[in-house]
Amino acid sequence: MSSSQSPNRRVGPLPAELPEPEPEAQEHSIRLIELIRHELAQSGGRMPFDRFMELALYAPGLGYYTAGARKFGEAGDFVTAPEISPLFARCLARQCQQLLEELEGGDLLEVGAGTGALATDLLLELEALQKLPQHYFILEVSPDLQQRQRETLMARAAHLIDRVEWLDAMPEPGFTGVVIANELLDAMPVSRFKMAESGVQEGFVRWADDAFEHYWGESVSPGLVDTVAALQEQVGRFDSGYESELNLRAGPWLQSLAQRIERGAVVLIDYGYPCSEYYHPQRNMGTLMCHYRHRAHDEPLILPGLQDITAHVDFTAVAKAGLDVGFALKGYATQAHFLLGCGLDSLLMNSDPNDIKNHVTLMQAVKRLTMPTEMGERFKAIALSKGIESSLIGFSLRDLSGRL
């Protein structure tokens, strides 16, 4: 350990506002803690934060996403747009319809499909629009969620299940069609950095006094120091003590997609900002957030395997990484503008106002999906493409690409 390494936050007992996990959940978490401690012991007593986050979320059979935690919905830890209302999928279906028409057919690939709600509603809407893709591929790291996706599809769209195929890896090169991912990038492990007098430090995790703790040390993750240097050229120098995080995995993920896509588009929806807002001098503690039983807090080292850990998305970095690997940037907009551009208002107008219950449910969903105080502005949509000529309908109302 170099002298520049210093302990940071100590993880004590659960913050008072968080409910105690059930004994079974605690046992589960202890098994994951043991696994992480075992890896720590084998790697000199510390691991970069992104590796801790990877294990906490995706350790086989034990991670938050890879084991049986409820996660989605009112009984889980958080709610996503496809879970709020089928309106989200119905709008996205219209964007897919436009793309599939230009491509004269093709496949869909959804990455990180959660409960399968988006896949189900998207397929049903594309069927209604007579624009079903040949295949609906799902790339999902969690066997537990793959099972839930299959159950959701069987319950609500069994007649379309033959089109659905779960992949173990990216599709073969030659893919033509549309790739979609809602709240995937925010679930990728991120690296933490801090500006010290001596230069850029990286965030690590170690075990001390019966708890995981953060500490800062000389960076070991390839690309971290260079990426922070490049960021400072864009947004200005960070003050000493400035902390934030970087998603070093999104670029290679996009590169791998670019190698597979012959023609088509990638539509990513997530919460985040352009780099000038993300790395604003006042946002000097980064954007890491944890969700447990619908409570949000900022301590990722507690409740391993029981809580979600996320970071906002730097959409400037996503656009730049996309351009670097040969995609064109087709648009960037708030979720509200994207959904309205795809025809959200006409879907609402077509609902029968005499069916009061249904109409009110739809209106409430529209509010949650589009109001600036809800998901409307915090969430953004970005589209990257290869060999697509048309302007995309999702960005027809407003395209904020110039802000990236």
| Side chain identity, residue 13 | P
Q: Which stretch, 110-118, 154-162, 215-223, 340-348, contacts ligand SAM (CB under 6 A)?
A: 110-118
Tell me if 63 sits within 8 A of 305, measured CB to CB.
yes
Using CB under 6 A as the binding rule, the residues of this chain from 297 to 316 that contact ligand SAM are none
Tell me if 299 sits within 8 A of 49, measured CB to CB.
no
How far is it, in rounded angstroms, from Cα 184 to Cα 265? 16
In 287-389, the DSSP E strands lie at 289-292, 295-297, 308-310, 313-314, 328-334, 379-386
| Contact map string, positions 48 to 67, toward ligand SAM, x by CB under 6 A | -----------------x--
Q: Which stretch, 12-20, 139-147, 320-328, 382-390, contacts ligand SAM (CB under 6 A)?
A: 139-147
| Nearer of residues 35 and 184 to ligand SAM, judged by Cβ | 184
| Nearer of residues 141 and 161 to ligand SAM, judged by Cβ | 141
Q: What does residue 3 show for φ and ψ, rounded to 5 degrees?
A: -65, -20
- The reply on whether position 189 binds ligand SAM by CB under 6 A is no
Q: Which stretch, 183-191, 311-319, 338-346, 382-390, contacts ligand SAM (CB under 6 A)?
A: 183-191
Near ligand SAM by CB under 6 A: residue from 32, 139, 302, 382: 139
* Shortest distance in whole angstroms from residue 115 CB to ligand SAM: 6
| Contact map string, positions 65 to 94, toward ligand SAM, x by CB under 6 A | x------x-------x-xx-----------
Q: Which stretch, 24-32, 133-141, 228-236, 327-335, contacts ligand SAM (CB under 6 A)?
A: 133-141
How long, in residues, is the chain?
A: 404
Q: At what angle do helices 143-157 and 117-128 cross, to 10 degrees?
A: 30
How far is it, in rounded angstroms, from Cα 48 to Cα 204? 4
- The reply on whether position 266 binds ligand SAM by CB under 6 A is no
CA 334 from centre of chain: 15
Tell me if 318 sits within 8 A of 329, measured CB to CB.
no
Q: Which stretch, 13-21, 27-35, 180-188, 228-236, contacts ligand SAM (CB under 6 A)?
A: 180-188
Count Cβ neighbours within 10 Å for each residue of 266-278 and write b for 16 or more, e otherwise.
Answer: bbbbbbbbbbeeb
| Nearer of residues 65 and 136 to ligand SAM, judged by Cβ | 65
Backbone torsion region of residue 301, taken as left when φ is above 0, otherwise alpha when ψ lies between -120 and 50, otherwise beta: alpha
Q: Which stretch, 136-144, 217-225, 299-307, 391-399, contacts ligand SAM (CB under 6 A)?
A: 136-144
Near ligand SAM by CB under 6 A: residue from 54, 183, 245, 399: 183
- The reply on whether position 133 binds ligand SAM by CB under 6 A is no
Size of site (CB under 6 A) for ligand SAM: 20
- The reply on whether position 112 binds ligand SAM by CB under 6 A is yes
Identify the burial level of 400 via C-beta atoms within 10 angstroms of its C-beta, where 0-12 means exposed, 13-18 middle and 19 or more buried: middle
DSSP conformation letters of 63-94:
STTTS----BSTTSSB--HHHH-HHHHHHHHH
Near ligand SAM by CB under 6 A: residue from 54, 140, 202, 314: 140
Q: What does residue 69 show for φ and ψ, rounded to 5 degrees?
A: -55, 150
| Nearer of residues 66 and 97 to ligand SAM, judged by Cβ | 66
Near ligand SAM by CB under 6 A: residue from 95, 98, 120, 142: 142
CA 344 from centre of chain: 23
DSSP state of 187: G
Q: Which stretch, 101-109, 138-146, 233-241, 355-363, contacts ligand SAM (CB under 6 A)?
A: 138-146
| Nearer of residues 123 and 188 to ligand SAM, judged by Cβ | 188
Which residues in this chain contact ligand SAM in the complex, by CB under 6 A?
65, 72, 80, 82-83, 111-114, 118, 139-142, 145, 182-184, 187-188
